[in-house]
A and B are shown apart, each in its own frame.
Chain A
Amino acid sequence: MRKVGVFVCHCGNNIAGAVEVERVTEALRSYPGVAYSIDYLYVCSDPGQDLIKEAIAERDLDGVVVAACSPVMHETTFRRTVAAAGLNPYLCEVANIREQCSWVHRDDIERATLKATQIIETIVEKVRHDEPLLPLAMSLVRRALIIGGGIAGLQAASDIAAAGYGVILVEREEGVGGRMAQLSGTYLNFDSTVDLLREKIEAVTRNPHVTVLTRAQVEELGGYLGDFKVKVRRQGNDEEYEVGAIVVATGYELYPQEWLSEYGGERYPDVIDGLEFERMLSPTGPTGGEIRCPSDGRVPQEVVFVQCAGSRDPERGVAYCSKICCMYTAKQAMMYKMQVPQGQAYIFYIDIRALGKGYEEFTQRGMEEHRVLYLRGKVSKVFPQDGKMMVWGADTLSGKGVEVAADLVVLATPMVPSAGAFELARKLRVATDKHGFFSEAHPKLRPVESLTPGVYLAGACQAPKDIPEAVAQGSAAAAKVLSLFSQEKITHDPIVAVVDSELCAGCGICVEVCPYEAREIHPLTKIAVVKEVLCQGCGACLVACPNKASQLRNFTPTQVMAMIGALV
C-alpha cells in the first residue's frame, strides 16, 4: 500500500481566500492511503519545497500530491523536488485547486472547500496507482537540415554552422539566394540586394561545416526529433542523410497573373508583376536596369502600380494581406521616378501598410520628394487601347472614378507558399493553414517552431514577411536548433501509450487515428506497436481501440475508475 503525502497550498490568499485550507488538510488526513497531510502558505517557495523533501525522508512517503495551482505552473517544480528527495518524479502529481476551484468559486466558501477536497481525493487515487517511470532516452545527431536556400535559410545555416555544427542545405534551384537574388535593391536605403546577399552566401558556402546541395529536393522523411532520416533527390540520384533537426525555409512565390482576368490575365505584355519589374530595375536583369515597356522597348511615361492585385480578396481565396507589397511598391515607384524624372507614377492602394522601422518615413519620402501619386481605391479593370494600357479605378477619397492611360502597369500580386510546399509539409508531418503556409506552434510565443518536435520554421513559408523579419526568423530557428544540439542527451516524456498484446486484435484503427504516426502493425506479430519517441500521449488511440488494448501510462482504466470512484 502506497503512503501518500498531501501538501495543500494557500497560495497566499489565492486559494485560502475561497477554500478553507485547514479543513481540507484535515479531511485528507483520514483518506485511505494518505499517510501525511499538511498545509503551507506557498508550497512552491523554497521552505515549502523543503517541507516536501523532509516529509518524504521522515515519513517514508512513496507518493506525493501537491494541491495548488495548475500543473502547467509547477508540476515540473514539484517533480524535481521529489526527485531531489530520492522519489521517482512520476509518483508526484498536482491537484489543481486554484484555477479550477478557488478562482472560480470566490462566492461560496463551503462548496469550494468541498470541491477542493474532492479534487485532491481524485488525485490521491491516481497517485496510489501511478507507476514509477523513467524518461525515454533518444539519440541525437548534431547535424541540421535546412530546406530552402533563400535569405532565411541562409541565415539559419550560417548561425548553426558558426557554432560548429554540421548543416545540410537543400535548394531546389541552380544556386542559393532565393527571391532576394531577383530583387533590384532593398527599400529604405536602395542597397543592392546582390551585394548584401553575397556576404551571406559566402558565410555559408565557405563554412566547412555546411554542405550545399543545389537542384535537390527532400524526397522522403523518416525518424523523429534528434534522429531524422532524410532522402534527398539531387540531380536524379537519391542520397540519404541523418540529421537531428530540420529548418523549413521554402519561401514564397507570386500568385499567377493568369488568374487575374480583370487585369488581363497575363495577355498584355505591358502588364507585369512586382518581381518582373524588379528584374527590369536590376542592373543584372534583361534590360540592364533600364525601365522599358516589354511590348516595344519604349521608356514608359506613365506607370500605374496596382496594390492588392489579388490580396485581401476573400472571393479569390486570398483573404490575407501580403504584407510586403506596400513597401516594395513604394520603392519601385521611387526607383522609377529616379530613372524617369519626368514620368508619372500612380499607386492604387486600400491602406498603406508601412509596417517596419523607418517604413512610414520612406513612403512619405516617396510622396513628397518623388511626387508619387497615391490613389486610395481598387482598380476594377485593365485593358489595352490605342497602344496604351487603360486603367479604370476608383478614388475613394474624392468619391470619383479614375481613368489612367498608362504605358506600363505593375501588379503587386499576392504572396503564396512556394510550389510543392504542401507536399513537403505532408512529408515532414507539419500542419499548414488553409492557404498552405506552414503552421507555427503558437502564433504569439512559438513563432518559429512547428508542432512537430525538431522541425522549425523560418521566413515566408510561415506567412508573408520581409527581409529583416525573415533574417530574424532564420536566426531564431537557429537558436532552437543550437539549444537542442547543446543537450548532452535528449529524453522523451514517458507518459506514452502501451499496447496490451493479449487484447490487441491488430485491427489497425489506432494506426489511422494516431496524429503523430507513432503506431504501426508489427509485420510478424500482427499487433499494434507504439513508437514511443513519436507518441505524444494524446490518448486518441485509447478512445479508438475497440478492445481496450491501448492504454496510456499512468492514465490506466484502473486509475481513471478509481478517480471517478472518489467523486461519486
Chain B
Amino acid sequence: MVIGGGISGMQAALDIADSGYEVVLVERLPSIGGRMAQLSETFPTLDCAQCILTPRTVEVGHHEKIKLATYSEVEEVGGHLGDFRVKVRRKPAYVDWERCTGCGLCQEKCLWQVPSDFERGIGKRKAIYALSPQAVPNKPVIDREHCVYFQKEGKCGACAKFCPVEAIDFQQKEEIWEEQVGAIVVATGYDLYPMERLSEYGGGHYPDVIDSLQFERLLSASGPTAGEIRRPSDGAVPKEVVFVQCAGSRDPERGVAYCSQICCMYTAKQALLYKHKVHHGQAYVFYIDIRAGGKGYEEFVQRAMEEGVLYLRGKVSKIFPQNGKVMVWGADTLSGKRVEIAADLVVLATAILPSQGTSDLAEKLRIKIGESGFYEEAHPQVRPIESGAPGIYLAGAGQGPKDIPEAVAQGSAAAAKVLALFASEVPP
C-alpha cells in the first residue's frame, strides 16, 4: 500500500506495480498528482509541471496492478510486516463513479461557486467539482458544505437533472473496507505554514500578500488567471513584486527552526517567470542565504540575477498596506541599510510543514515523528527510507522538506525496499 498520491507516492506505486505486484494507492483528495499538480513550471529547466506530470498520473490511473483509492484515508492499521490489515475509509462523493463518464456537465450546470482549495482560494470552483480537467480519475465529488441540495433540504439538484448517465447519488454513504498488504510506503507530503500565523506579514488579511502556492496558481496556464500575473485585490498587473524568503522558516521562535529547502529555488523560478511575463516589472527577493544546492541550481539562480531579479540579503520585518500599495520594510545586511519598497504584490515563501494529519497517521502506523513533526527515518545517513518499523517505508516530503527529484528518488528507493522484501517472501 502506498499512502499519498503525490509525485513520490506515484513513483513508488509505479516501480512496485511495474514489477508485477499489486498496489493500493490511497489518496485523500479526489484525484492524484499531489502538490506538483498545482505548480506552474519547474526549476531549473522551466518544464511545465502539468505537462510532465500528466503522463505519470495517466500511467498510474491505467496501470492494471494499481488500485486507486482516492478521496480515501487510512482509518486503522493492524497486523505486521508481510501481513498488514489496513482499514480504508472512502468519503461519500455523492457521485457514482462507476457510472460517471467525467463529462463535466454537472460542474458546468452547478450554480454554486465557492473558493477552490486547489486554487488556494484565489480561484473558484463549483459545489460539485473535480480538481482539474486532467484529473486522474476525472470524476467529480460534491462538497456537502456548499451544496444547496444538502443545505436546503433537497432544493436545486441541477447536477442530477443534467447528468446524462444518472450518476449523481445524494444518498451515497461513506465506505470502509479492509486491505491486506505486505508493506506500506508513506508518502503524505507537505502543507504550507498558514499565513494567519505570520502577523507581521499581515496574517493573511491583505489580499495582495499571497503565499508561494497561490503565486504558482497565478503563473499556471490552467490557473484562475490563465497564467496572467494579476494581483488579487483589483486584477492589476503588478509592477513591483517582493518575494520574501524564510517567511516562517529558520525561525526557532516560531517553532520552525528548520530550513524549508525548496523555497530558494522556487522563488528564483517565480521571480524569473514574473520577469518573463511582465518585462518592465521589478522583482525583489529578500533572502538570508541563497541555498541552491542541486544540479544546475546555482547556475539557475545566477540566471535569475542576470535577467534582472534584484536580490537583497536580509529579513523583512513588516508588511502593511498604504495608499493602494503594500509597504515592505526590510533590511539589506550587505549595505547595512534599511530598505522600504512600495510593492504591488508580495509573495511569501512560507515554511513547509508536514501535511495535516501526519501525526495521526504516524500513530496509526506506530512510526516515529521527529521534533519538527516529520516522520523519522531509521538512520539519517544510511537508512533514510526506512521508518524503523519493519515493512513501513518513507518517501517524499513527509520525511522532511525536499524537491521533486529527491522525492522521486525516494519513491523509487522505497519501492526497492518493498521489492526486495516481496522477493524474499517467495518460497524457494
Contact = CB atoms under 8 A, between A and B. Distances in A.
A527 B276 CA distance: 51
B244 to A, nearest CB: 17
B82 interface: no
Interface stretch (B40-48, B153-161, B186-194, B197-205): B40-48
Interface stretch (A186-194, A255-263, A287-295): A186-194
A196 B382 contact: yes
A358 B380 contact: yes
Interface stretch (A121-129, A158-166, A230-238, A266-274): A158-166
Contact of A483 (B19, B258, B296, B426): B19
A18 B108 CA distance: 16
Given A196-B382, A359-B259, A482 B292 contact: no
Contact of A469 (B101, B289, B336, B406): B406
Interface stretch (B169-177, B315-323, B417-425): B417-425
Interface stretch (A25-33, A384-392, A421-429, A437-445): A437-445
Contacts of A353: 289, 291-293
Given A12-B102, A445-B56, A476-B413, A164 B423 contact: yes
Interface residues of A, number: 78
A323 B405 CA distance: 15
Interface residues of B, number: 75
- The interface centre, meaning the residue of B289, B302, B381, B384 with most chain A CB atoms within 10 A of its CB, is B381
A467 B424 CA distance: 27
A73 B382 contact: no
Interface string B394-415: 0000011100111011111111
Given A360-B258, A476-B413, A483-B19, A471 B384 contact: yes
Contacts of A352: 289, 291
Contacts of A159: 416-417, 420
A312 interface: yes
B409 A472 contact: yes
Nearest to B395: A472
A48 B404 CA distance: 34
A1 interface: no
Contact of A475 (B103, B370, B416): B416
A164 B419 CA distance: 10
B261 interface: yes
Contacts of B324: none
Contact of B424 (A164, A196, A312, A463): A164
A462 B409 CA distance: 13
Contacts of B115: none
A476 B410 contact: yes
Contact of A467 (B45, B382, B405, B411): B382
Nearest to B12: A479
A151 interface: yes
Nearest to B334: A396
Given A443-B45, A445-B404, A447-B405, A196 B291 contact: no
A464 to B, nearest CB: 8
Interface string A2-20: 0000000011111000000
Interface stretch (A39-47, A109-117, A496-504, A542-550): A39-47
B294 interface: yes
A77 interface: yes
A467 B382 CA distance: 7
A353 B301 CA distance: 14
A163 B406 contact: no
B413 A445 contact: no
A487 B401 CA distance: 34
Interface string B12-51: 0001001110000000000000000000001011010000
Interface string A192-208: 00001001100000000
Interface in B307-335: 333-334
8 contacts: A76-B62, A162-B424, A191-B379, A314-B302, A443-B405, A444-B47, A463-B295, A482-B420
4 nearest A-B residue pairs (beta carbon): A475-B413, A476-B412, A357-B400, A463-B295
